[in-house]
Structure 1
C-alpha cells in the first residue's frame, strides 16, 4: 500500500461528519489509500435566522468549495440538495454514490401520522417546499420555522427523548412542537430512524431535488491520487447520476433554490427515466404537479428532460404560483 494519504473535507455537524466518514471509508476500502478528515466551518453553520434568508442553496457549500480550491483538501462531501445547480469552474462532481431514501419523514409526538395530528397542531420545518406541501395536505396546521442540527430539531417535539445540542442551548424551548419534518436519509444515516412516525409518500410531499444523494467533489484535474480517482469512478452510481441530473436541470431552468417551494423526483424504471415535479404557492393553497419521461438514458438526455419539464411548468404559470 502506498504511503500517500488523501484529505477529505466536511462540515462539522454530526450528519456531515457521518456522511463524509462513510464516503471516506468506502474510498479507502476500494483504493487502499489512507485518509485524513478536514473540518471546515461554513456560513450556514454559524449564521442564525431562517435558512431561506441566508443566501440560498450554497450557504453550506461555499467554504467547503473554497477549501478545495485552495488545496486544503483533496475531496469534499456535500449533501447534494445543498449544492447550487451551477457547477463552478475548476471543480467537478466526481461521484454520486447510490442514493439513500429520498422521502421526507414526519417525527411527531405520540407516534402520530400527518393525517392524525390534531387541528391546529404545530409542525416545524425550515423548508418552504415542505411547508407548502404540508399546508396543501393539511391547511389547518401551523408551520413554525426552525433551524439547527438534527438533534436540536428532534428535541423540539413534545415528549422527544432527543437531547439538545450545544448550538441550541438557550435559544428555543424544547418540546414546544407537535411534529417536525426532516429528510429520512439524514435520520437513517445517524441511526435516528426510531424517531420517524411516518415516511411521507411523494404523492403527498415530493422531495427536494437531489434529496437523499451525496456529491463527492474534486478539482477538475482529480483528487491528486490516481487510486482514489479510480475508486470514485467505481462509487459513482449510474441511476443516481441520471436522476439527480434531471432534477437539478429542472431546478436550474426554473432559477429556483432552497427558498423556493419546488419539489422534484426522478426515477429509472427499466428503460425509462421518469421525472415528477411540483410547484406550490408558498401558503399551500395551490399546487401544480407535472411529469415527463425520456428513454434517452444518458446524462445529456436526463438534463434535457429536466429542462423540458421546467419549461412546461413555466408556460403553465409555475413562476407566478411559486413566487420565483
Structure 2
C-alpha cells in the first residue's frame, strides 16, 4: 500500500508553484512519500492595491497558515521575506533550505545596465526599499531617474518594459532563476548599490508545531548557515519595528578564506523612498551558532541604526 501523499500548501502564482515544486521534490526524496501541491489564493494575490497600502507583511501568508491550522494541508512553502517577523506558537518553520541568489536584478529595454540609464529613465518596482536605494544611488552619481510603483507577477512586470511603458524593472534574482527566466536579466545589481529585503532569496517550510515526525523529516532540508543569516536579517527588521513594506534592506553574508567560514557581516539600510535620506550601517562578528546569537546580531545593529535616525525614515511603523 502506498503511503498517503503529503499536502503542500502554496500560493497559485507561477513563481510560488515553481519554488513549491522544488521543495516538494526534495521532501519526496527525504521522506519517500508522494507530495501533492495544494494551490491557495491569498489576499495579496487578489488585491490590486500596492503592498504598502494593504499592509505588506503577511498578506501572502495568512491564507496558507489558516489552511495549516484547519488541517487542509500538512505543510506550506513561503518566500521568507513575506513572513511577519513574529512567529505564531502553533506553527514552526521546520526548514530554511539553501538560499538562492539574494540580489536584485534589472530587466532593461534599450540600456541593459542600471548605471547607463538615460536621464529621466522610468524604472518600475513594487518595493519602497528598492525605490529608496535606487534613488539614493542616482542622486549620489548625478543620474536622473523616476521610480514607478508597479504590482503583478514576473510576466506583468517585464511586460511593462517590452511594451515601452517603462525603461526597466527591478525584480529579485531568485524569482527570475526559479521561473527559468534568468536569461532575460540585463543587470545584476550589486548589494553595494541595493541591499536586498531581509530574507530575500530564502524559502520557509512551515508546519504545525505538534507534528513531530514531519518536523523531523523537513529538518533534513534545513541549511544552518542560511538560517543564521536570515535570522539576523529578520531580527534587524523586527527591532526596527518595520513591516515588509517598509524601505528596509538587510543582508548577512559569510566571510571566510574559501575553505572555512569565519565571520558573518550584517549590513542594514533604511531610507526615504525619494532617496534623500539613508541610514546604512554594518557590523561583523563570529558566525552565530545559536538562534539567540543571530537575533542579537540583528537587534544590536538595529539599535545603532535607530540611534542614527532610522526611525524617522520609515513612514508608517508596524505594530
Gaps of 5+ in 1: 161-173
Query: 1:252 is matched with which residue?
Result: 238
Give 1:50-69 correspondences, 5 Å limit.
Answer: 50-69=50-69
SS class of match (1:58)? coil
Work out the CA distance in 1 between the residues paired with 2:207 and 2:268: 30
* TM-score (norm. length: structure 1): 0.91
Contact 1:294–1:301 under 8 Å retained in 2: no
Query: 1:166 is matched with which residue?
Result: none
Cα RMSD of the aligned pairs, angstroms, is 1.3
Match of 2:225 among 239, 242, 245: 239
Contact 1:114–1:198 under 8 Å retained in 2: yes
Give 1:1-324 correspondences, 5 Å limit.
Answer: 2-139=2-139, 140-157=144-161, 160=162, 174-222=163-211, 226=213, 228-269=214-255, 270-295=261-286, 296-323=288-315, 324=317
Work out the CA distance in 2 between the residues paired with 1:115 and 1:129: 18
Work out the CA distance in 2 between the residues paired with 1:100 and 1:281: 28
Structure 1 position 2, deviation (Å): 4.9
Structure 1 position 3, deviation (Å): 1.6
* TM-score (norm. length: structure 2): 0.93
Q: How many residue pairs get matched?
A: 306
Contact 1:294–1:302 under 8 Å retained in 2: no
Structure 1 position 203, deviation (Å): 0.3
Runs of 4+ in 1 over 3 A off after TM superposition: 228-231
Contact 2:58–2:83 under 8 Å retained in 1: yes
Work out the CA distance in 2 between the residues paired with 1:229 and 1:307: 28
Structure 1 position 286, deviation (Å): 1.9
Contact 1:9–1:76 under 8 Å retained in 2: yes
Structure 1 position 305, deviation (Å): 0.5
Structure 1 position 111, deviation (Å): 4.6
Contact 1:272–1:297 under 8 Å retained in 2: no
Work out the CA distance in 2 between the residues paired with 1:259 and 1:12: 21
Contact 2:27–2:35 under 8 Å retained in 1: no
Contact 2:233–2:252 under 8 Å retained in 1: yes
Contact 1:7–1:38 under 8 Å retained in 2: yes
Structure 1 position 57, deviation (Å): 1.3
SS class of match (1:305)? helix
